[in-house]
Structure 1
Amino acid sequence: MNKRFLGFFLLVGLLMAAFSSHAAPNPDAVLGVWKNGEGTGMVQIYKKAGKYYGRIVWLKVANNPDGTPRTDVNNPDESKRKTPLKGLENMRSFTHDGENKWENGNIYDPKNGSDYSCEMTLTDSNTLEVRGFIGVSLFGRTDVWKRQVKK
């Protein structure tokens, strides 16, 4: 009988330890500076009005050959083509779903001037999968970003 109680309490203790070490999802875990998979740019993800946004904070090639800052030359809106890429808000309106995932956002690609639906998944504390797509997530592309700086 004592062995049964000991076994039971040991099992309960192990279960409690397992559940207490599994922390609740942190919606702000995505905040920080992230380098894209190509290593050509860094995006700072920040929070405003309860949603998550990103802006370009570093470019491997920050200037044109003439020394002027690179601008959003591929933007379909001509009035925005002189906007500097550094500082450009290229990620908008993500919401956290509770499982290391941020959804319902958009990402703008200044390389081609296109805007895509987007979702992000934090696979570990320093790796972020960013998936841009048109229509459904099945038809898209995933880029793996690496954390550079927290918050």
Structure 2
Amino acid sequence: MKFIHTVALLFGFMFSFFLANTAHAQDPALGSWHTVDDDTGEIKSLVVLSLAEDGTMVGIIKKVLKKDAASDLCDQCEGDKKDQPIEGMQFIWGVERTGKGEWENGQILDPESGTVYTSNITISDDPNELEVRGYVGISLFGRSQTWQRIEVK
């Protein structure tokens, strides 16, 4: 009888873990997005937001699309990202899920300035728009962008 109880308990834990990871995988903020230039409104890049092994969000710049991109390298970056290619770069990391479509307290790198900001990422009322906020200190001191969802073919 103890064996059956142990197996049932183990199965319950595994099922709970599966449901938790499935919920994360289906979060509406995850997926492919176009970033938009603050000044011109031009699409700048294609980024993909996904889950890291620890359940936090990470973001990778898959493709730089802005025609007049100043550099292919992150020459303003510091540390291990210094002079690394922007395409393929992980520029978002450690963002924690606080609710469906709501992520907070991670880091986001602006490859143009090399500055790393604290970030909050929230799905908009329109599920095809993502509100991305980067700030220093408190959220009041920062800037926001609205990214557009894309379907990758």
When the two structures are superposed, what TM-score results if normalisation uses the length of structure 1?
0.72
CA contact (8 A) 1:27 1:96 kept: no
Equivalent residue for 1:28?
27
1:19 corresponds in structure 2 to none
3-state SS of 2:27 partner: helix
Are the equivalent residues in 2 in contact too, given 1:26–1:100 (CA < 8 A)? Answer: no
Q: How big is the alpha-carbon RMSD for the aligned residues of Structure 1 and Structure 2?
A: 2.5
- Give unpaired runs (5+ residues) of structure 2: 1-22, 38-42
- Letter paired with 1:133: Y
Matched, 1:59 2:61: no
Match of 2:77 among 75, 78, 98: 75
Q: Is the Cα contact below 8 Å between 2:28 and 2:100 reproduced in 1?
A: no
**Percentage of pairs with the same residue:** 31
Counterpart CA distance in 1 for 2:143 and 2:129 is 16
C-alpha separation between the residues in 2 aligned to 1:100 and 1:94? 12
How much does 1:149 deviate? 2.5
Distance 1:28 1:94 in 2: 13
Q: Shift of residue 25 of structure 1?
A: 9.4
In structure 1, runs of 5+ residues without a counterpart are 1-23
Distance (Å, rounded) in 1 between the aligned partners of 2:64 and 2:75: 15
Aligned residue for 2:146, secondary structure, equals: strand
Instruction: Specify which structure has the bigger relative contact order, considering alpha-carbon pairs within 8 angstroms and separated by 6 or more residues.
Output: 1
CA distance in 1, matches of 2:59, 2:24: 20
Q: Determine the C-alpha separation between the residues in 1 that align with 2:69 and 2:27.
A: 35
2:50 alignment counterpart: 46
Q: Which residue of 2 aligns with 1:11?
A: none
Q: How far apart, in 1, do the equivalents of 2:93 and 2:137 lie? A: 17
Bigger-Rg structure (1/2): 1
In structure 2, C-alpha distance between the alignment counterparts of 1:138 and 1:87, rounded to whole Å: 30
Q: Show CA shifts across 1:81-118 (max 9, x none).
A: 33111000000011111153100111000100100000
User: For 2:137 and 2:72, how far apart are their aligned partners in 1?
Assistant: 30
Shift of 1:134: 0.3
Give the residue type in structure 1 aligned to 2:90: E
Partner of 2:17: none
Listed one character per residue, the Cα deviations across residues 39-90 of structure 1 (whole Å, up to 9, x for unaligned) are 111211011121110010111248989xxx811111133x643311100000
